[in-house]
Amino acid sequence: MAATQANPDVAVKPDQALTPGVDDRLRTPRAKRANRWGLGRLIGPLLVLIAWAAVTWGGLVDSSVLPSPSEVGAAAGRLLAAGTLQQHLLISLSRAMIGLGIGVVAGTGLALVAGLFRWGENLVDANMQMARAMPILALVPLAIVWLGIGEEVKIFLVALGVTFPMYLNTHAAIRAVDARYLDLGRTLGLSRLELIRTVVLPGALPGFFTGLRFAASVCWLVLVVSEQINASSGIGYLMTQARGISATDVIVVGLIVYALLGLLSDTLVRFLEGKALAWRSTFQYR
């Protein structure tokens, strides 16, 4: 009753129990709309944009070092008008999505093998721990020898970078499933396959989505490097060309594109996570 009086915009029937921090009925309609569309997450980027404008327009930083938002916007407008930005963006997106898909499948598959079977743990986990300790950039010369300088090496590097966060988080989530639920399932007469399907895999979903969020960010980080390996297209190539002629505004345009892609991919994963894990009760802001 106290929660209802503190928030008159929320109508709650007396016979309905409320769970503070979890029940969405405790939020105002405005808060629920903002939460649904993720508009609150734009506050941070807007503050960064304001600080950037203040620093550059105030003359604290020279435009050759960091161009102002208006200069970057003008550069982006020129690239869009010429069709250059769209062309390179589509190529980068195709490389990222193919590499991300391969890496997610590979990392999740290896995590299932290592997490569900003792022989899989013995065969897979030690190799994955050693491989993830090697810097991906150090593998670039070897990847070029194996795959050349075409599209294959770029997709391979992205897939490799994605595989490790998917494997580590999914494997850890599988091994962290509460043994009490497994004991309960055995008491109910569930077979091993039924335990995996009804207990282990649902319990590991939060770790899977955590790995997917890491993988989505790693995907763009590796793509920046891979598109500078004798590439002739892509946002990374566009930034490399701009560096050669000291076009700082175009470089910042490329960085902003990567940042927006990272934000959009993270938002999409969070949305999918909310849908897939709607049954999970967790802390929520009010």
- pLDDT, tens digit, 9 for 90 and up, residues 189-221: 777 787 888 888 888 888 899 999 999 988 988
How many C-beta neighbours within 10 Å does residue 24 have? 13
CA-nearest of 92, 36, 54, 47 to 233 is 92
Instruction: Give the pLDDT band of residue 14 (cuts 50, 70, 90).
Output: very low
Judge whether residue 1 has pLDDT over 80: no
CB 204 within 8 A of CB 213: no
Confidence band for 6, pLDDT divided at 50, 70 and 90: very low
Distance in angstroms (rounded) separating the CA atoms of residues 260 and 275: 23
From CA 208, how far away is CA 202, in angstroms rounded?
A: 10
Cβ count near 242 (within 10 Å): 19
CA distance to 20, 23, 30, per residue, from 2 (Å)? 12, 15, 20
End-to-end C-alpha distance for the chain, whole angstroms: 17
Q: Which helix (H) or strand (E) holds 154?
A: helix 151-175
Across the chain, the runs of DSSP E, i.e. the strands, are: none
pLDDT at site 100: 93
Q: Would you give the DSSP letter of residue 18?
A: -
Give residue 274's Cα distance to chain centre. 14
Q: How confident is the model at residue 69 (pLDDT cuts 50, 70, 90)?
A: confident
CA dist., res. 125 & res. 59, Å (int)? 53
pLDDT for 17? 45
**Residues 78-130: tens digit of each pLDDT:** 989 988 889 999 999 999 999 999 999 999 999 999 988 888 888 898 889 88
Burial of 87 (0-12, 13-18, 19+ CB in 10 A): middle
pLDDT reading at 32 higher than 70: no
Q: What mean pLDDT is predicted for residues 34-57?
A: 73
Q: Rounded to an integer, what distance in angstroms lies between the CA atom of residue 245 and that of residue 182?
A: 62
Q: What mean pLDDT value characterizes the chain?
A: 79
Q: Name the residue among 79, 116, 131 with its Cα closest to residue 235.
A: 79
Instruction: Say what the pTM is.
Output: 0.76
- Give the residue extent of every domain in the chain: 83-276
Residue labelled with tokens 């004991």 = 183
pLDDT for the residue numbered 18 = 44
User: Per CATH, the architecture of 83-276 is what?
Assistant: Orthogonal Bundle (1.10)
What DSSP string describes 66-103? S--HHHHHHHHHHHHHHTHHHHHHHHHHHHHHHHHHHH
Q: Which pLDDT band holds residue 31 (cuts at 50, 70, 90)?
A: very low
Range 50-64 average pLDDT: 77
Angstrom CA distances, 223 to 74, 219, 240, 282, stand at 25, 6, 13, 34
Residue 45 identity: P
In the predicted structure, residue 11 carries a pLDDT above the cut 50 = no
pLDDT category, 284, cuts 50, 70, 90? Answer: low
